[in-house]
A and B are shown apart, each in its own frame.
Chain A
Amino acid sequence: MSIGNIFEIGKRSLLSHQAAINLTAGNIANINKAGYIRRRVDLNALTAGLPQLGKMGLTLRGNEIVRVRQRLAENQLWLEYQDLGKYESSSTILSQLEEVFAEPTEAGLSNVLNEFWNAWNDLANEPESTANRAIVRDRAVVLGNTFNRIHSDYKSSQVQIQSEITDTVNSINHLLNQIGSINKQITQSNSMDLLDQRDQMITELSKQLNIKVVEKENGEVTISTDGLILVSGAQVNTLSASFSTEGDFSQVTISIDNINYEPNIRSGALAGIVEIHNEVIPDTMKKLDELARTLAARVNEVHRQGANLDDISGINFFAGDVTGADNFRLNEAIINDPGLIATKAVGEGNGSSSMALAIADLRMENFVGSLSPNDFYTSIMSQLGSVVQENDFLLESQTMIVQQLENQKQAISGVSLDEEMTRMMQYEQAYEAAAKVIDTVDGLVQTLLQMT
């Protein structure tokens, strides 16, 4: 062993610790970057190789840089983010949909319906009155407006959700393309920054769509949804959304472009809004339509049997062609002349209110899906309320699960300032010591030189 070797060790030691400090600086610089995974220098190789340093030809490559990953937590997170994404995207829209009904306020259908029945009762108390007829008409107009308003609000929410679906599909495709191109780059250079960037994109993607991620030996990932491959190597299959109209409301289908197949979108933000678009909105409206249609038909049926003060009978109270909440309205003739509102049976005296009473009594009749109109409406509302409540509850618990996993991942992969600063001191001291070694060896050499 020559003194020159010790110079060499000193030099390498200086360089290694300089590299380590460099890495520490990098860790500190990226402390707040999302998806950054802390890096560490593995210095073992340097010390292990020391005795045979000259023969082994050990170089700086011995200092392996390692990304400190917590693979299990990462994979678990990608899975849990999918559910979180779904609940998150549903949450706001669902409460908007609930607020459309304005319950429990005076503008809510519940109250408007009650006022409508009460107006009929007031008319029954004074069937000769034209003022009370006008009140019945006005209340019925409010009822019609309320039905119409809810329906059109739901329709415009659906249009608003449509653009949100398109945006989400675009952002999914964008992510898929980026992951594909990073895949290609990674096979060429195994850059850690690229890996960080790709993992972050997969996290973003998992918030939007249910995906399965498989990592290959060469660093590439394969991403699939519902068993169908979206990204494999540089190959990317994008999604597309197509809208069709079914009845009164639109339906959306998500398909994979190249293979023209419709995957089952179960979770992720896309699933949340697609479900609301395709199920919650049309289902709720179908029920409201049923209420509007049955109500109009039943009131008309009774009203046609009755007669007004001039013994005119056979008139519809609501328009005869009401098919749902959107075209629920009064008979045009009644709007123009509330005098046509029937209160008595044909042939009875004008003081009789048998028909007005019969219509007021419909409030208690179970003619909408074996429930009274008010109860049927309440059941629509409480059903929607349950969906919202359940989603909020799931959102809360899912947030906690994700938070816990994030903590687990952070505990391994996150940058800790305390740790980095301590390591920096450690490396700095080692660096000083290495410099001292060189100084000492220099002294040794001087001693030798002075001997001659």
Chain B
Amino acid sequence: MRVTQAMIISNTMRALQGNRSNMAFLQRAIATGKKLHTASDGPVSFSRARRFSNMLSQNEQFLRNIQDAQGWVDATSSKLDLIVGLLMDAADIAKRGADGNIDADIRESLGNKVDGLLDEMLSLANDEHIGRKVFAGSETKSGNPFSINGSNIIYSGNTDPINRKISEQHTISININGQQLLDTGMFTAMINLRDALLTDDTASISGSIDEIDAAKEKVLNIATTLASVSNNLDLAMNRIEAVNVNLNKYISDEEDVDLAEALTKYEAEEIAYKAALQSAAKIMNLSILDYMR
């Protein structure tokens, strides 16, 4: 084949440009740590990585939801614990009041103590978590859900659930509504005990001991249910965190550069480039003119 100067020059330039562009590509990959800069760098990898990162973003939101739910559940169960404590205090007082050896004055003062416990219970039931009524169903911002009217406790909240989305398929209810508290009979038991103590009605005092124990059992049951919700939240969180580790790995597989590989390739390109430069310089220097007299 006849080889002309123009051919050598254009072939050399093309080869050098090819080397340069490979080196630029690898350099960019090494500098950014990414091999996927646009969809066209790998449409399949791109759409896979996008899908994974959509899932990741969603999962991170679920983790936020779970954290929020956990806060609510923790606040609720600590209030329930306090309520159980109040009921236990009341049971102690009832036992003392049932003692036949004490007189009416002491029973009256015990009755006042129970009244104080009842107030405390009421304020716990009306308590808030970050500005929201915990035991009011979805009426979280409509004032106190519980009020006392003589010997009657009035519940003005509703029985709506407060829901949190904790995974793609699962929405769980995280609240205990006021009606559930009412149904344990805790308020009634306290009121009955107070009234029996104040009126020095020994027979009723013994009766209300059982009533208080029954109410305590029911509150404990609710607390147990809530504990299992909390447990579920933990499990969901662990699962999502494990999935996220995998998702991050998958995204990295599609998007990130294997640095060792990229550096090795870069070395190879550099050697090729240098060799091309050197040979080009030598060949292009050759001229028949140097050998003519």
Which of B40, B60, B163 lies at the interface centre, i.e. has the most chain A CB atoms within 10 A of its CB? B40
- Asked if A384 contacts B137 (CB within 8 A), the reply is no
- Asked if B164 contacts A421 (CB within 8 A), the reply is no
B151: interface (CB < 8 Å): no
Contacts of A103 in B (CB 8 A): 38-39, 46, 50
A354: interface (CB < 8 Å): yes
A253: interface (CB < 8 Å): no
Interface string of B27-64 (1 = CB under 8 A from A): 00000000010111111101101110110011011001
Contacts of A110 in B (CB 8 A): 50, 53-54
Of the stretches B107-115, B201-209, B210-218, B285-293, the one at the interface is: B285-293
A389: interface (CB < 8 Å): yes
Of the stretches A11-19, A200-208, A288-296, A360-368, the one at the interface is: A360-368
- Asked if B54 contacts A114 (CB within 8 A), the reply is yes
Q: How far is the CA of A381 from the CA of B38 in the complex (A)?
A: 9
Of the stretches B5-13, B82-90, B274-282, the one at the interface is: B5-13
- Asked if A348 contacts B160 (CB within 8 A), the reply is yes
B261: interface (CB < 8 Å): no
Contacts of A419 in B (CB 8 A): 2
- Asked if B141 contacts A128 (CB within 8 A), the reply is yes
Chain B: which residue is nearest A351 at the CB level? B140
Contacts of A353 in B (CB 8 A): 162-163
Contacts A104-B46, A388-B40; is A417 near B140 (CB within 8 Å)?
no
- Asked if B141 contacts A350 (CB within 8 A), the reply is yes
Which of B3, B39, B289 lies at the interface centre, i.e. has the most chain A CB atoms within 10 A of its CB? B39
Q: How far is the CA of A352 from the CA of B131 in the complex (A)?
A: 15
- Asked if B39 contacts A114 (CB within 8 A), the reply is no
Contacts A103-B38, A388-B39, A417-B288; is A352 near B4 (CB within 8 Å)?
no
Contacts of B287 in A (CB 8 A): 417
Contacts of A122 in B (CB 8 A): 61, 64
Contacts A128-B132, A410-B7, A414-B2; is A381 near B46 (CB within 8 Å)?
yes
B142: interface (CB < 8 Å): yes
- Asked if A414 contacts B39 (CB within 8 A), the reply is no
B158: interface (CB < 8 Å): yes
B252: interface (CB < 8 Å): no
- Asked if A414 contacts B4 (CB within 8 A), the reply is yes
- Asked if A349 contacts B58 (CB within 8 A), the reply is no
Chain A: which residue is nearest B6 at the CB level? A414
- Asked if A411 contacts B165 (CB within 8 A), the reply is no
- Asked if A411 contacts B2 (CB within 8 A), the reply is yes
Interface string of B127-146 (1 = CB under 8 A from A): 00011110011111110000
Q: How far is the CA of A94 from the CA of B36 in the complex (A)?
A: 17
A159: interface (CB < 8 Å): no
A157: interface (CB < 8 Å): no
Chain A: which residue is nearest B251 at the CB level? A104
- Asked if B54 contacts A350 (CB within 8 A), the reply is no
Q: How far is the CA of A369 from the CA of B102 in the complex (A)?
A: 81
Count of A-B contacts judged by CB separation below 8 Å: 183
A324 to chain B, nearest CB (A): 22
Chain B: which residue is nearest A425 at the CB level? B292
B20: interface (CB < 8 Å): no
Q: A95 is contacted by which of B38, B43, B132, B141 (Cβ under 8 Å)?
A: B38
B45 to chain A, nearest CB (A): 9
Q: How far is the CA of A122 from the CA of B133 in the complex (A)?
A: 19
Interface string of A35-68 (1 = CB under 8 A from B): 0000000000000000000000000000000000
Q: How far is the CA of A418 from the CA of B283 in the complex (A)?
A: 13
Q: How far is the CA of A94 from the CA of B43 in the complex (A)?
A: 14
Q: How far is the CA of A407 from the CA of B10 in the complex (A)?
A: 9
Contacts of A260 in B (CB 8 A): none
Q: How far is the CA of A421 from the CA of B286 in the complex (A)?
A: 13
User: For window 123-180 of chain B, which residues contact chain A by CB distance below 8 Å?
Assistant: 130-133, 136-142, 157-158, 160-165, 168, 171
Chain B: which residue is nearest A419 at the CB level? B2
Q: B138 is contacted by which of A98, A344, A403 (Cβ under 8 Å)?
A: A344
- Asked if B1 contacts A382 (CB within 8 A), the reply is no
Interface string of A322-362 (1 = CB under 8 A from B): 00000000000000000000001000111111100100110
Q: How far is the CA of A287 from the CA of B136 in the complex (A)?
A: 47
Q: How far is the CA of A102 from the CA of B61 in the complex (A)?
A: 23
B200: interface (CB < 8 Å): no
Q: How far is the CA of A59 from the CA of B38 in the complex (A)?
A: 70
Q: A117 is contacted by which of B4, B49, B61, B289 (Cβ under 8 Å)?
A: B61
- Asked if B138 contacts A351 (CB within 8 A), the reply is yes
| Closest 9 pairs (CB-CB, A-B) | A385-B39, A349-B138, A351-B140, A388-B40, A414-B4, A352-B138, A385-B43, A349-B139, A382-B47
Contacts from B to A (Cβ < 8 Å): 1-7, 10-11, 14, 36, 38-44, 46-47, 49-51, 53-54, 57-58, 60-61, 64-65, 68-69, 130-133, 136-142, 157-158, 160-165, 168, 171, 255, 287-289, 292
- 8 CB contacts below 8 A, A to B, read A114-B54, A125-B65, A353-B163, A364-B58, A382-B39, A385-B43, A406-B10, A416-B2
Further contacts, 20 of them, CB under 8 A, given A98-B38, A406-B10:
A94-B40, A95-B38, A104-B255, A115-B57, A349-B142, A350-B138, A351-B132, A351-B141, A351-B162, A357-B165, A364-B58, A378-B51, A381-B46, A382-B43, A383-B43, A389-B41, A410-B6, A411-B3, A415-B4, A425-B292
